[in-house]
Chains A and B, each alone.
Chain A
Amino acid sequence: MNSFTQNISIFYALMTRDIKVLRQRLHDIIIDGLILVCVTVLVFGYLLPKLGMPTKLIGPIFLGNSLSFFLASLGYAFATRMVYDLKFDRFIEYFLTLPLPKRWLFVYFLSSFIIETSIVTLPLVTFGIVLLGDNFGPINGSFITFLFIYFLVLLFWALFFLGSSFTFSYQWFKNNMWARRLTPLFMLSPAFFTLKSITLIVPTCAKLMLLNPLTYLIEGLRSSLLGGNDYLPLTTCCIGITVTLVCMAIRLYHGFHQQLDPV
């Protein structure tokens, strides 16, 4: 049995290694992010309003759809690497042989994703808001609350993608992940609209969307930064996100045992 200090030192060594790898990839990831942000700002900030989209939706859509899509893309790339490794390279076996408890390994994988993603996305989100300027709309919320919800959102995506990479086979993941998991998650959530605007048109569907975890994440981001009564209350979002996180953690735990611990 390792002492806490020994675990910390191994954990620290792993994180240092990841930061080193990230430093080499950072350039590419930031270019990819800049492209996504610029294209999104152009389409949602300027072109869709020309076709008649209400400008008051620009800010909520940027936070809800564009940011979440960016996080999902990064998460998908992370999960693809993991799924590929589980099928072919099996570098995971090196991690399993480390004198580190499995719970620490989970925390390591999650922290690695959260650190990488926040380093890349936070500056890009700020850049996107600056680019949108007045079109983004008034910011009546609190940055501290936004950062807290943002952390929960990152944790959700980390748990979701890590869990998916352990739950699904390589072939299934490659063929069906976007079509059967990510696309329904986005399309059946208020990513492109606000929940309030959906409620006005199809109240039943809006209620059903409350079963989708992305609803709480997206509305939580909007509610925390933009403020006002147009979004789900922050308390409801926090409760929804917490329940989702617990479900995702259980899924990850079972997936991990199913994939790597046949005993």
Chain B
Amino acid sequence: MISEKTTRTLSIFMEFLRRDLYVYTRQMRDHIINYSLVYPLLYIFCFAYLQTQIYFHGQTYIGAIVFTGTCLIPLMAMTFHITFDLLFDLEKNRHTDFQIMVLNPHLIIIEQILFSSLFTFAVMIPYFLLARIFASSCINLEHVSWPSLYVILYCGSLCISAYHKLAATILTVKKINMFWTRVNHILLVLGGFWIPLYTIQSFSPLLGFLLRLNPIVYFTEGLRQSIVGGTQFLPLSQCIGALLVLTIIFTALACYFFKKRVDHL
């Protein structure tokens, strides 16, 4: 039997989820235009169509490998946008103070990560569908495994949401630009935005080894495995496993730092 306390906690947890949904649904139109239409269509034109023709002389296989990673920018921007509202709140409105009075701080962080991952996933769903519609002649999308693509897309959204939430609990508003340049930019560009891990490994085995510590690599490798397939990419199970383990680590650390930041006792 579920105790009364657990039921109450669960109902508050669900209310907070509904509250987040209400708040972000009001901005939904902007997000859909930006992340489900503007980014995918522009990237399809630039990276799927022009890049494949000009850089790779129409090799649709390489075109697909390179284009796959480009969804990282809208995905990271979207999760950043949602998760960093906590940081702005901590430095200004302190709505969080009300939330921690009625729910355990750890559950607040888990709820926010869960919401961010679901919202980002929903907004990112059209990305590869649009590529399939508009770019199938310039990038090879014949071997796409759609179920595994969406599984890895959700796992990636979850892991990056947890990672950004952890950053939001540690950083201050003034350090956001620095965070993007010194951390996110490096993780993103060397995490397979364009270049797959096997190319980096052939260029420098040491760099390839170090990049195994980059969570983004597991996401892009998983995407490439689902879209292009082949032994040159990391196996899907390894990518999903790594993303879930990293999500747990980031969430635990985010809970710890959040509690430390809001609870002075």
Q: Which A residues are within 8 Å of any B CB, using their own CB?
A: 28, 31-32, 35-36, 39, 42-43, 46-48, 50-54, 57, 73, 77, 80, 175-176, 178-180, 183-184, 187-188, 192-193, 197-198, 201-202
Q: Are A48 and B53 in contact (CB under 8 A)?
A: no
Among B162-205, those with CB < 8 Å from A are 177-178, 181-182, 185-186, 189-190, 194-195, 199-200, 202-203
B56 close to A47 (CB less than 8 A): no
Contact B200–A53 (Cβ < 8 Å): no
What is the chain B residue whose CB lies nearest that of A174? B81
Q: Determine the distance from Cα of A48 to Cα of B65 in the docked complex, in whole angstroms.
A: 12
Q: A206 to chain B: closest CB distance in Å? A: 10
Q: What is the minimal beta-carbon distance from A109 to any residue of chain B, in angstroms?
A: 19
* Residue pair B186, A50 in contact (C-beta under 8 Å): no
Query: Contact: A201 with B46, CB < 8 Å?
Result: no
The answer to whether A193 and B181 touch (CB under 8 A), given A47-B203, A175-B81, A183-B42, is no
Give the interface size bracket for B toward A. 35 or more
B53-77 near A? 1/0 per residue, CB < 8 Å: 1111101001001100000000001
24 contacts between A and B (CB under 8 A): A32-B182, A36-B185, A39-B185, A46-B203, A47-B194, A47-B199, A47-B203, A48-B55, A51-B56, A52-B55, A52-B57, A52-B62, A175-B34, A175-B81, A176-B34, A180-B38, A183-B38, A183-B39, A187-B45, A187-B46, A192-B50, A192-B51, A193-B51, A202-B49
Is B119 an interface residue when CB atoms closer than 8 A count as contact? no
- CB closest residue in chain B, given A54: B55
Contact B185 A35 (CB under 8 A): yes
Q: Does any Cβ of A come within 8 Å of B4's Cβ?
A: no
Q: Which B16-47 residues have C-beta < 8 A from chain A? A: 27, 30-31, 33-35, 38-39, 42-43, 45-46
- Please state if B195 and A47 are interface contacts (CB–CB under 8 Å): yes
